Amino acid sequence: MEECLFCKIINGDIPCDKVYEDEYVLAFKDIHPVAKVHVLVVPKIHIKDYNEVNDNNILYISKVQNAIKEVAKICGIKDTGYRVISNTGKDGGQAVPHIHFHLIGGEALGEKII
Ligand code: AMP
Ligand code: ZN
């Protein structure tokens, strides 16, 4: 996906503040953090959103889920706790159409929707 911001970050065409990387996953600091720790964890293939998750790409989503605790550990929030959020589509408030997981923590977080 040539026009995708996160694909460009994955490809190295746009710089990021990298926190973690493996064959399937990239994690980097959000440019507009909403908490002391705010990292985006993304699969290294273009999947637009949850509606595009399928049997052919689920390995990448699994690897992202498995990496989150490692990213949390690197960020020093594994034991203090954190929240993982993924927005999908218009009503979900998704701004970047490459599925991603906000890992936030480092402080007591604000009011929960659920
Ligand atoms: P969402 O609204 O769930 O699609 O989240 C997109 C997130 O990407 C927002 O929290 C933005 O602050 C973040 N973001 C946008 N551009 C960049 C960038 N170049 N580097 C890091 N984070 C970014
Ligand atoms: Zn992409």
pLDDT tens sequence across 70-93: 999 999 999 999 999 999 999 999
Asked whether residue 56 is domain-assigned, the answer is yes
Q: Ligand 1, from 4, 7, 10, 30: best to mutate by most atoms within 8 Å of Cβ? A: 30
Distance CA 56, CA 43 (A): 13
| CB burial readout 3-16, b (16+ within 10 A) else e | eeebbbbbeeeeeb
Q: pLDDT for 29-69, tens place per residue?
A: 999 999 999 999 999 999 999 999 999 999 999 999 999 99
Which amino acid is present at 51? N
Q: Among all chains, which residue has been given the structure tokens 């159409």?
A: 97
Q: How confident is the model at residue 4, as a pLDDT?
A: 98
Q: How confident is the model at residue 111 (pLDDT cuts 50, 70, 90)?
A: confident
Which residue range is the domain that position 53 belongs to? 5-105
Q: How confident is the model at residue 113, as a pLDDT?
A: 86
Q: pLDDT for 91-107, tens place per residue?
A: 999 999 999 999 999 99
Q: How confident is the model at residue 114 (pLDDT cuts 50, 70, 90)?
A: confident
Asked whether residue 114 is domain-assigned, the answer is no
Asked whether residue 28 is domain-assigned, the answer is yes
CATH code of the domain in which 59 resides: 3.30.428.10
Asked whether residue 87 is domain-assigned, the answer is yes
Asked whether residue 113 is domain-assigned, the answer is no
Asked whether residue 110 is domain-assigned, the answer is no
Give the total number of structural domains in the chain: 1
Asked whether residue 111 is domain-assigned, the answer is no
User: At residue 1, does pLDDT exceed 80?
Assistant: no
31 C-beta closer than 6 A to ligand 1: yes
